[in-house]
A and B are shown apart, each in its own frame.
Chain A
Amino acid sequence: MPVLKSALDVTSAAYQTNRAAQLAAVAALDEQLDLARAGGGAKYAERHHKRGRLLVRERIELLLDRDAPFLELSALAAWGTEFTVGASILTGVGVVSGVECVIIAHDPTVRGGAMNPYTLRKTLRALEIARVNRLPVINLVESGGADLPSQSDLFVHAGQIFHDLTELSAQGVPTIALVFGNSTAGGAYVPGMCDYAVLVDGQAKVFLGGPPLVKMATGEEADDEELGGADMHSRVSGLSDHFAVDELDCIRIGRQIVDELNWGKLGPGPTKPPDPPRYDPDELLGIAAADFRVPVDPHEVLARVVDGSRFGEYKPLYGTSLVTGWASVHGFPVGVLANARGVLFSEEAKKASEFIMLANQTNTPLVFLQNTTGYMVGKAYEQGGIIKDGAKMINAVTNSTVPHVTINIGASFGAGNYGMSGRAYDPRFMFAWANAKLAVMGAQQLAGVLSIVGRQSAAAAGREFDTAADDVRRQAIEEQIERESHAFFVTARLYDDGVIDPRDTRTVLGLSLSAAHSQEVRGRRGFGVFRM
């Protein structure tokens, strides 16, 4: 396979500007991740420790295989909302006893681990990742239940957690609950729905109704241990399969359960040489554009991401605004689609459609590097059938069954987001670089469009157009869209699985692809009708 040759000038002003902008974006990301790490804050962490309990991140570090990588998901969920960054839960894909698992762990230092609407979305996304990639699920349970003030946004949908857990089980994907604390009312169904449950002595409380509720309902006097302690559930109800003397014991048993699953991945393992790229990934910081309107050469990105910087380009001379070709990441073969100059024309859409079908023919996963402002508009393009060609691409993306991993490396606007396997097209994983933008269109453009529409409607109504007011409104809209297209805003709403440092792209892809190979990797042979 040909090896990419970088033409990057690390001394150029553009490189330095880009690098400075990316470092600032990464620093901002770290600042926000600090909030996620802090959970409920030092005071609650200390109180939790004083109770002899481990923090959620301590539990996870002990659960994971030593030195194995861990991909945390949706770390900035609920960012910018009234709820704590991270949404009082931690999810991710990690290796436990040699098995890649989805881990879902409550953070009891944040309002007792109570679930808010973002917690729910984050949990459901993690369960979806487990389902589509066929990854065993380990729940680290310690939650006070629903955040009652937001129950109306929560209650109905929350039932899906239990639905998904048992559906996973029906599909043969193991589910495990390690119960460290409260798991009451609806929460009691987490250990109830899982294939395996381990309860920690003196800490786990698993019951439908606690002592006050029982007293109210039937007048019966009962204490926590009688209603839902580890000892009772291990010896009497049988809800608990293993009695853990303490948290360490619980985690040890959890690891043992995974070890005993006799689990095997259905997809092939890595088959290509996994040698590192020939160029330093650190240079990605100077490659990613500070301004999304400046195109990024995908070859320069791939030279710092794929194995040995090897890339076999498909149709290099046709539809050149989209780069397509074959490569591998950590040994997993992939087809890559990467925007080169933002706009997608008919040629690009047709090239993409063909390439996606070819990847499906050979069961090759696809990596989408989004940096698109959308499909081309204008008389010539409409008349040339851009809608039909865009539809071909969306058809191919939609019906493709090989794993997709999508990374927004700059911009994801308009239908380009759809064609490049955006969130609605169910990529197995989707991430964004720290300064990437996502919206229906760029903020300036969107404000401009609204202004033109306003001017037209004033003219149609015979009203005088208030230019000053339009300027104010235009500015406000531009600011709003700018804010809403920010990577943190997007990820806060679970529109992707996380914001990453560009330098981590290869690692994140490797983890995502490996996880996707837990499931069978099989392309679609028959596609929907292509409009010609």
Chain B
Amino acid sequence: MPELRKLLIANRGEIAARVMRTARELDIATVAVFSDADAEAPFVRAADEAVHLPGNSPAETYLRADLIIDAARRTGADSVHPGYGFLSENAGFARACVDAGLVFVGPPAAAIEAMGSKIAAKELMAAAGVPVLPGVTVAAGDELGAAGLAARAGREIGYPVLVKAAFGGGGRGMRVVRAEADLLDAVTGARREALAAFGDGTVFLERFVDSPRHIEVQIFGDSFGNVVHLFERECSIQRRYQKVIEESPSPAVDETLRAELGDAAIAAGKAIGYVGAGTVEFVLDASGRFYFLEVNTRLQVEHPVTELVTGLDLVRLQLLVAEGRPLPEEVRLATIGGHAVEVRLYAEDVAADFRPATGTVHAFAVPALPGVRVDAGVAAGSVVGVHYDAMLAKVIAHGPTRDEACRRLARALAETRLHGVVSNRELLVGILREPEFRAGRIDTGYLTRHDPEELSRSWRSADVRPVHAVAAALTAQARRRTDAPVLATLPSGWRNVVNAPQQAVFSCEGDELTVRYRFAEGGITAEVAGTAVAGLVLRAATADRIVADVDGVRREITVHRVGDTYFVDSPLGSTTLTELPRFPDPDSLAAPGSLLAAMPGTVVRVAVEVGDQVRAGAAVVVLEAMKMEHSVSAPHDGTVTEIGVSVGQAVDVGTVLALVDAGEEQG
């Protein structure tokens, strides 16, 4: 097979940028495809050429095999890299690429197909001698009878039962059912989500192992029949079945277990004639037994940890294998060097049950500590919307030991400037510094045992909010003084007849913080929420930083202002403060009885019509946000007087969805 010359990346975000980086090193030109929302995304700019896919939803864009193959044809690409997610495990797409004369950077369509159905995959694996969990398949067309379902689940599996989409991955549609009564609902919901996400409503039921460790093995095959493994990764820190922290090697795997896992993974790969990068996922129960979960026939999100411990570039290997070359020598000789830990930085509100967050990234900078790698999908100016996965970036640290990798990563994240979107950054630092995690005592129940909010707060100083509020107020003050058209050089807030201090009111994490400050006799006094800031000495104040002593401790506090919002970072932590207007806009009040969107999402159902009588608690609008359905219900009995949205519409936080008039009580 000839060398690849031009590679189209049928994906977006960090993985698209990641693939392009290696392609460039191999002198392969790159083509991006992008939706409307991604027009300005960093990965589009990183590509040599880019082709627009009109629309925003994945179904209109990154799942459109026909448009993508057409884009490859128009740009003269000779190959397609599918990344992860989207079409990466779609055998039809792999086949269509090959039919169009394109090299599909991935396994043969047959291997994808074999693993695409989790049921068939399991049977195949069981036959190859890989340990599997008992399970049952509910095909897309099957009539859903409650009794029949329950009988099968009870007989063939035993509770608890995990219900999930047969196709696709990433936890979409997963539900744990512990009692028979909940089974039908779970299967119905999973079927709907599977159909929406993957175009196939087949659902798979399986024994659910409580709080297992998630261990996976990276495998690599070439077209000469070689299949090797590149050791394990552990991805046990999860929330809502989504991986949050991954590492390699696993602290739970010793040499013996590693050999067993490796053998099982190679057996799995060989059973399906695997070519390219793949991952065999296992669950490891408390007694040390492991069971086959699934094979991901693609590059994993967490592949960098394997790269850092082996020193290999997995995308490079993918491209070499796609060119028909045998796996290079170093792959077979690979060893584990040190330890690597990856975190997924998500745009999400940990305090609001990991609700996905949207917004504009105003700053994103990870300090360049040794051994720290950043695979980012966003940069300053990027807009994080509701259409795609909320992962902003992966930050990976490599160190000689697990502890050192964790320490580096924690420090890098603690010093990271991420402004504009709410993220799980503080939680990640909290986990990385938490003793149980550090001792390696982790499983998928870790974030159930440890309150994520407490972990987030665990390393944050109690002073962070008041001190940062003062910093925000004083930088704003400095900016106003500098920008003043008259009297700019006169003392700030000077009065010959001393009056009330200057005041700024911020909203911060749901609280209102009133800052009062006064410059007098060469010094400054300040109070926050009525409490004086002890021993405040202001050494320097400009529009974007202050240097101040508080109670004898000097710190530099940086403040990044965007509109009325202040992003404040210091050794105390990071805070986002939004200044409330000095004069409230008299027109800004929402009508009573308004139902507001509490999170960004897409309207999947409007359950009422204008004029309907509704009872308090009745569902009015159903939103889908980040793989979850959220029902917005009537706040009180009343009449629906207005519906502000329609099905399919993307809504932002605060959008008025509907108005329920309570009648005379509302008066």
- Residues of A in contact with B (beta carbons under 8 Å apart): 33, 36-37, 57-58, 60-62, 65-72, 75, 95, 98-100, 245-246, 248-249, 251-252, 255, 265, 269-270, 274, 282, 330-331, 498, 500-501, 504, 507-508, 510-511, 514
Contacts and interface: CB of A to CB of B under 8 A. Distances in A.
A66 B500 contact: no
Nearest to A265: B486
Contacts of B480: 65-68
A123 to B, nearest CB: 17
Interface string B553-587: 00000000000000000000000000000111010
B495 A72 contact: yes
Contacts of B477: 66-67
A98 B490 contact: no
B479 to A, nearest CB: 9
Given A249-B583, A251-B583, A68 B499 contact: no
Contacts of A60: 499
A267 to B, nearest CB: 11
B154 interface: no
A62 B502 CA distance: 10
B481 interface: yes
30 contacts: A37-B498, A60-B499, A62-B583, A65-B484, A66-B480, A66-B493, A66-B502, A66-B504, A66-B582, A67-B481, A69-B487, A69-B490, A69-B492, A72-B495, A95-B486, A95-B487, A98-B484, A98-B486, A245-B586, A246-B586, A249-B586, A251-B583, A274-B489, A330-B490, A331-B489, A498-B496, A504-B496, A510-B489, A511-B487, A514-B487
A69 B500 contact: no
Given A67-B481, A249-B586, A252-B583, A33 B497 contact: yes
Interface string B164-181: 000000000000000000
A510 B490 contact: yes
Contact of B489 (A36, A58, A270): A270
A68 B586 CA distance: 26
Contacts of A500: 496
B499 to A, nearest CB: 5
A69 B582 CA distance: 18
Contacts of A251: 583
B485 interface: yes
B487 A61 contact: no
Residue from A62, A68, A500 whose CB has the most chain B CB atoms within 10 Å? A68
Interface in B449-503: 477, 480-481, 484-487, 489-500, 502
A75 B497 contact: yes
Contact of A72 (B493, B497, B582): B497
Given A60-B499, A252-B583, A507-B490, 16 more contacts: A37-B499, A61-B500, A66-B582, A67-B502, A68-B480, A69-B487, A70-B494, A72-B497, A75-B496, A95-B486, A245-B586, A246-B586, A270-B489, A274-B489, A330-B489, A504-B496
Nearest to A253: B583
Nearest to A72: B497
Contacts of A248: 583-584
Contacts of A95: 484, 486-487
A485 B495 CA distance: 26
| Residue from B484, B486, B494, B502 with most neighbouring chain A CB atoms (10 Å) | B486
Interface residues of B, number: 26
Contacts of B487: 68-69, 95, 100, 330, 510-511, 514
Contact of B484 (A61, A68, A249): A68
Q: Which 7 A-B pairs have the closest CB atoms?
A: A252-B583, A69-B494, A274-B489, A98-B485, A72-B497, A69-B490, A67-B477
A70 B495 contact: yes
A37 B499 CA distance: 8
Given A67-B477, A251-B583, A57 B500 contact: yes
Nearest to B474: A67
A272 B493 CA distance: 23
Nearest to A510: B490
B500 to A, nearest CB: 5
A301 B584 CA distance: 46
Nearest to A503: B521
Contact of B497 (A36, A67, A100, A274): A36
Contacts of B502: 66-67
A71 B497 CA distance: 8
A109 to B, nearest CB: 15
A248 B499 CA distance: 18
A255 B581 CA distance: 14
A396 to B, nearest CB: 30
Nearest to A431: B496
Interface in B586-606: 586
A204 B484 CA distance: 33
A57 B502 CA distance: 12
A518 to B, nearest CB: 9
A178 to B, nearest CB: 13
A125 B495 CA distance: 20
Nearest to A269: B486
A511 B148 CA distance: 87
A69 B481 CA distance: 10
A514 B485 CA distance: 11
A246 B480 CA distance: 27
A231 to B, nearest CB: 15
Nearest to B585: A252
Contacts of B489: 270, 274, 330-331, 510
Nearest to A57: B499
A61 B497 CA distance: 12
Interface in B370-405: none
A273 to B, nearest CB: 10
A65 B488 CA distance: 12
A309 B65 CA distance: 77
Nearest to A30: B498
A176 B313 CA distance: 72
A40 B108 CA distance: 89
Contacts of A75: 496-497
Nearest to B495: A70
**Best-buried of B485, B487, B494, B582 by chain A (most CB within 10 Å):** B487
Residue in A58, A245, A255, A507 whose Cβ sees the most chain B Cβ within 10 Å: A507
Most chain-A Cβ atoms within 10 A of its Cβ — which of B481, B490, B504, B522? B490
A195 to B, nearest CB: 21
Contacts of A265: 486
B568 to A, nearest CB: 19
Nearest to A250: B583
Given A60-B499, A66-B582, A248-B584, A507 B486 contact: no
Nearest to B492: A67
Given A67-B481, A251-B583, A274-B489, A507 B500 contact: no
Contacts of A246: 586
Interface string B624-665: 000000000000000000000000000000000000000000
Interface string B38-73: 000000000000000000000000000000000000
A237 B12 CA distance: 63
Contacts of B500: 57-58, 61
B420 to A, nearest CB: 25
Contacts of A504: 494, 496
A244 to B, nearest CB: 9
Given A36-B497, A67-B477, A252-B583, A511 B490 contact: yes
A29 to B, nearest CB: 10
Q: Which of A61, A246, A282 has the most CB of B within 10 A?
A: A61
Contacts of B522: 282
Interface in B502-521: 502, 504
Given A65-B484, A66-B502, A69-B491, A508 B582 contact: no
B168 to A, nearest CB: 54
B497 A37 contact: yes
Nearest to B480: A67
B495 A69 contact: yes
Contacts of B490: 69, 330, 507, 510-511
